[in-house]
Chains A and B, each alone.
Chain A
């Protein structure tokens, strides 16, 4: 473990803690608590004494800082509390919802990477200006299409007009296809947009001219020289895309009536099931942090400048450090 990895790990933990704290403040500092929401404010079936007993059971009678400390302590031990609607542990609910969401998210991610990457490569590789412009026009369209509409259209075509894939449910591989395609469209568009931009940028760099002057052909220039450099900014976006996939799951799973994290989010937000909502926020943050941690750890493998920088400084400190300029000075100061 070197310093780079440790620093990234520390940052990841900090982000998780911040996500927990912010969601706690937002959810628990709101007027009205889960117990009164459960029974409605003018409910006559329960006595105030029963309400108070329930509040005590959920720890809601304590002051906010005390509640925060207890919840955080419990969360650190893996106990995220239990749902006030379903009366089941939050952790179990989330664990059950992960596999179906993971299936469509992973399929969507792979699909988005392939389609988005291919689109960007073909658009920048082709010598036909018309094809290039047509392809580069696709990503903005992909981002602009509302995914619930696109999902419904897919169901219309491929489930009702031509019954190839099931419209709803989560039985078998064929049920994954339509949700995954729906989920992949905005993500693929984002990747295509980013990668084609940075490919265009890389192809204008002088090192590409050096390669062409060697006699390297266009395909090799693209894959060997431009793509590797262009994939660096695209990789950063890929880390962010995962958040997009989780957010997209809410719509997609609702449209296709699939169980999963998205559905769980939708139902617990509607029911104001605060412990579950917070559990999901924490889960989403954890996924996000892990993916970005993976991206950060992948960076040095693709870009030698990142970790090796310290080595370079060791071998030639004078050239690496001794080039200060007068730039920060401004005339009027």
Chain B
């Protein structure tokens, strides 16, 4: 029996807001032993991040700990004074925050930010702190730590910044590490490297990890024990095999069924009779951006000789990590950007140089659904106004006809008619994305470009939206250009896939073929980086 690092008993946290009290965490009990990784899993609003914040007493000002206790190596965190907390934070417990892009002080050098931990706790003087900071950066897996130490956060990529934050959290060698969604903002391959590294750093030192994640796959791969939270309560906890192998709680089963990384089943639509003419075809598309003269001039080739064919009624996924050129490719296909060379064919006609009214008519036939339904809907518009906006823009139908069309579209995306006069803020994320889909469908387009349509949504909502998209494709014969970084989602919904890296297509073909027998090393790497591999293997790939 190893040492008990953290014991949380009957913790209850509430947010006192003007509209009343929201009980975010209710009677949560959990513990972390030395050398153990405990994953807290749940969807947004489950209280998992509030629990993590309570452990380091970094709750939002409106949050109040109603009752319960948090014992961290004999320290009573709940009742500790600010002064006492300062001797706990950094030394006994380190925090790896959620979003590395905003979690480093933008105007301070990396080295100073790491050294600060050692300085304020009196663990090193100015000179030694600097040397140790570099060592800490090296341990966190950063190449050229001496150079990094002199740089500012904006000069580093997201993955590098997360390594810096890990270096900060581990600099004073704390016994417990609280990692709140440490890799959610990162690409899958980077995510895997970071999580691997975290594991390496902590095994052997006896450091315990409290890992907060929304991704059951990550939890399954990394945790010794999983704690499932829903609506502020712990609904289930146990080893990954217990929790994922034979979940006893209905919510866990639901979560498990929805997780794209674990769910093997495909939800693609029944094949539509194929037409000889593809709806969209890209031929040798290339796009170069001039680099600023301050960057030495020259050009950046964002899209490099990309060709693909999207048959009618099918889904083609463009897959790649950030900077792979997938969004630029989609912009070229939509004629939102001019290609440097190559051509775009829509419904058999070359539209590369279409402009003016003809281009406007073309736009009617292709619509876009964006990644973030929280940002893509005008907050001051009613749902009806949002859905009918494209109709108004093209002066389709009379006012009453447009209103009728809005009702019809709500039925199509399975939203109740009562939402017509509501505003986006009154809807959930999934409902908002349904509104965005309804808007895209209002003009009866032939092609819908889906730009990461489910990345901003919780897994159970993701599954619902993907089901909806598949049904719509079957009913309306839509063709989808599906842009995603998430191979697990792509496996579920796409017929064809093109994998992009550095602006080039490294592999393309039928989804089944590419996923089962990747021929390109990068594709193979992407596939193996999908979290949840351990469970998938255990379950034989089905759920």
Contacts and interface: CB of A to CB of B under 8 A. Distances in A.
B21 to A, nearest CB: 19
A224 B152 CA distance: 15
A218 B46 CA distance: 30
B53 to A, nearest CB: 8
Contacts, number: 165
A31 interface: no
Interface string A296-333: 00000011110011111111111111111111110111
B490 to A, nearest CB: 17
Interface stretch (B124-132, B240-248, B321-329, B518-526): B321-329
B323 A308 contact: no
Contacts of B90: 213-216
Q: Which of A206, A210, A211, A314 has most B Cβ within 10 Å?
A: A210
Which one of B105, B108, B367, B451 has the highest number of Cβ atoms from chain A below 10 Å of its Cβ?
B105
Interface stretch (B26-34, B295-303, B346-354, B528-536): B295-303
B330 interface: yes
A229 interface: yes
A257 interface: no
Residue among A217, A220, A304, A329 with max Cβ neighbours from chain B (10 Å): A329
B449 A326 contact: yes
B116 A214 contact: yes
A333 B295 CA distance: 34
Given A207-B105, A313-B294, A326-B449, A215 B154 contact: no
Contacts of B503: 322
Contacts of B327: 323-326
Contact of A211 (B116, B291, B322): B116
Nearest to A2: B294
B340 to A, nearest CB: 14
A27 to B, nearest CB: 42
A36 interface: no
B314 interface: no
A310 B294 contact: yes
Interface stretch (B6-14, B251-259, B389-397, B471-479): B389-397
Contact of B106 (A207, A212, A314): A207
Contacts of B447: none
Given A213-B169, A326-B368, A331 B389 contact: yes
Nearest to A315: B155
A209 interface: yes
A311 B360 CA distance: 41
Contact of B107 (A220, A303, A314, A333): A303
A331 B86 contact: no
B330 A326 contact: yes
A229 B105 contact: yes
Q: Using C-beta atoms within 8 Å of the partner chain, give the interface range for chain A.
A: 35 or more
Contact of B87 (A215, A316, A333): A215
A206 B97 contact: yes
A3 B293 CA distance: 11
A313 B291 contact: yes
Of listed A220, A321, A326, residue having the most chain B CB within 10 A: A326
Nearest to A232: B107
Interface string A197-208: 000000001110
B291 A326 contact: no
Given A214-B168, A321-B300, A206 B157 contact: no
A225 interface: yes
B111 interface: no
A228 interface: yes
Interface string B277-312: 000000000000101101110001010000000000
Q: Most A CB atoms within 10 A — which of B56, B91, B103, B328?
A: B103
B334 interface: yes
Contact of B89 (A213, A303, A314, A333): A213
13 contacts: A206-B97, A207-B103, A213-B97, A215-B88, A225-B105, A305-B152, A314-B294, A317-B295, A318-B502, A324-B331, A329-B368, A331-B368, A332-B394
The 7 A-B pairs of least Cβ separation, nearest first, read A332-B393, A215-B90, A310-B294, A213-B95, A313-B295, A215-B89, A332-B390
Given A207-B103, A229-B107, A326-B368, 4 more contacts: A213-B56, A310-B294, A313-B295, A323-B323
